[in-house]
Amino acid sequence: MAVRKLTEEIYEVGAIDWDRELFDELIPLPDGTSYNAYIVKGSEKTVLLDTVDPTKKDVLFDNLDYLGIEKIDYLVSHHAEQDHSGTIPEVLAQFPETKVITNPKCKGMLQDHLHVSEEKFIEVEDGEQVSLGNKTMKFIYTPWVHWPETMITLLEEDRVLFTCDLFGSHMAASNLFVEDKGRDYLSAKRYYAEIMMPFRNLIKGHLKKIEEYDFDIIATSHGPIYDEPDFIIDAYKGWVSDEVKDEVIIPWVSMHGSTEHMVDHLVDTLIEKGVKVTPFNLTTTDIGELAMALVDAATVVLATPTVLTGPHPKAVYGAYLMNALRPKTKFVSLIGSYGWGGRMPQMIQDTIKNVNAEFIEPVIVKGHPSEEDFKAIEELAYSIVEKHEGSKEII
């Protein structure tokens, strides 16, 4: 149990998950996470904003007990994913008078996933307000961050914007507010890269919509919250912009060293040319680090040997993730070797069709690279440098 106080009438009552190592059985959590939920005590009504992952429901109920909460009039559900909604059925069982406030799409999803019954809901429209007496909640639709039903709530008089996943970070920390900006920036960037990046263009619109409102605090449902909202809003503006950095990343895998030698030569040549370059060994890399690098690198060069006529499965995984995350990468190329033949280049290109980047002629060699092949790698590096120099979107 650990209740964290924002004001005399607003409390964080969720749970810190120090030990969780993986989210969605996919995303590594090097710093754990938290499921922030908030109690707001109005002069007439009390509201709970979101719940917690079902594995931490006892923490939520202990926190509500500690605050002496005997009645919850409203439960606002911003997002139907179970790390925030999964304890709604237990809250409704313990507080039978509670009504769930949400939008029609989220209502449908809560019915599908949690079997919450129809009479428990109050549906709200975009921009609708609900009074708690001395406080007013205004609901703002922000679809696709990162599910189609997501919305946020502005507590107008207190100037607190509750954003659920949006602006969050997977970080377990006892401090309620951001204290270490450098650490939190990286954690929030990792979260953006893994979860929000595919919806970059929609988020641009949401940022404009949010800026119409006045608030002093952004209270997310993961990680420390922001008492300087511009810090995270400015970071998001950079991440969702069309601008990229003069950087090359090379997700690679090699079986017997031929592809690895090609990667090494490309890395060395790019360093010589003054371009920032980072190789990611796909057999060991933390995919969160790779996702973060995809946020603003201008160029991605995938490197893979040929296995059973196609790319190495680890390279397919890297390419598939890149395709799903839809980074704003401007240029893509491919290097690698083969023993006797195959369709590796075409299969990689087919896997990254969502990435709207110019494809630079790949360097694919037979067996171990020769002197001529190494020269072709150098030509690829020079071509990348030239493309970067000619791009207006590289900062």
Q: Which residue(s) pair with 307 in the sheet?
A: 310
| Nearby residues of 24 by Cβ (< 8 Å), 6 or more positions away | none
259-262: long-range pairs with CB below 8 Å, 24+: 259/303, 259/304, 259/305, 259/335, 259/336, 259/337, 261/368, 261/369, 262/303, 262/335, 262/336, 262/337, 262/363, 262/365, 262/369, 262/373, 262/374, 262/377
170 is a contact residue toward ligand FEO (CB under 6 A): no
Cβ-based nearer residue to ligand FEO, 34 or 98: 34
Task: Enumerate residues 192-221 that contact ligand FEO by CB under 6 A.
Answer: 221
12 is a contact residue toward ligand FEO (CB under 6 A): no
296 is a contact residue toward ligand FEO (CB under 6 A): no
Instruction: Give the nearest distance from C-beta 170 to ligand FEO in angstroms.
Output: 9
Identify the CA nearest to 293 among candidates 251, 234, 335.
251
Q: Could you tell me which stretch among 79-87, 297-305, 356-364, 385-393 binds ligand FEO (CB under 6 A)?
A: 79-87
Cβ-based nearer residue to ligand FEO, 79 or 200: 79
With CB under 6 A, what is the number of residues at the site for ligand FEO?
8
Cβ-based nearer residue to ligand FEO, 163 or 329: 163
| CA 110 vs CA 78, 81, 237: distances in Å | 11, 9, 31
Q: Which of 4, 20, 78, 84 binds ligand FEO (CB under 6 A)?
A: 84
Q: Which of 135, 190, 222, 330 binds ligand FEO (CB under 6 A)?
A: 222
Identify the CA nearest to 66 among candidates 28, 12, 113, 22.
12
Q: Could you tell me which stretch among 64-72, 78-86, 108-116, 298-306 binds ligand FEO (CB under 6 A)?
A: 78-86
Identity of the amino acid at 112: D
81 is a contact residue toward ligand FEO (CB under 6 A): yes
| CA 352 vs CA 133, 326, 344, 374, 393: distances in Å | 52, 9, 13, 26, 21
- 148 token code pair: 């189609």
- The CA distance from 27 to 268, in Å, is 31
Instruction: Give the nearest distance from C-beta 117 to ligand FEO in angstroms.
Output: 23
Cβ-based nearer residue to ligand FEO, 31 or 81: 81
For β-strands 38-41 and 10-12, DSSP reports them as antiparallel
Q: Which of 12, 17, 50, 165 binds ligand FEO (CB under 6 A)?
A: 165
Instruction: Give the nearest distance from C-beta 197 to ligand FEO in angstroms.
Output: 14
Cβ-based nearer residue to ligand FEO, 45 or 146: 146
83 is a contact residue toward ligand FEO (CB under 6 A): yes
- The CA distance from 362 to 302, in Å, is 9
> For ligand FEO, what does the binding mask look like between residues 104 and 143, x meaning CB under 6 A?
----------------------------------------
CB atoms within 10 A of CB 201: 12
Task: Enumerate residues 224-283 that contact ligand FEO by CB under 6 A.
Answer: none
Q: Which residue is nearest to ligand FEO (CB)?
A: 81
Instruction: Give the nearest distance from C-beta 89 to ligand FEO in angstroms.
Output: 17
Cβ-based nearer residue to ligand FEO, 288 or 345: 288
| Nearby residues of 19 by Cβ (< 8 Å), 6 or more positions away | 32
DSSP 104: H
Q: Which of 57, 79, 312, 314 binds ligand FEO (CB under 6 A)?
A: 79
Q: Are 211 and 152 in contact (CB under 8 A)?
A: no
- The CA distance from 331 to 245, in Å, is 12
Query: Interface residues with ligand FEO (CB under 6 A)?
Result: 79, 81, 83-84, 146, 165, 221-222
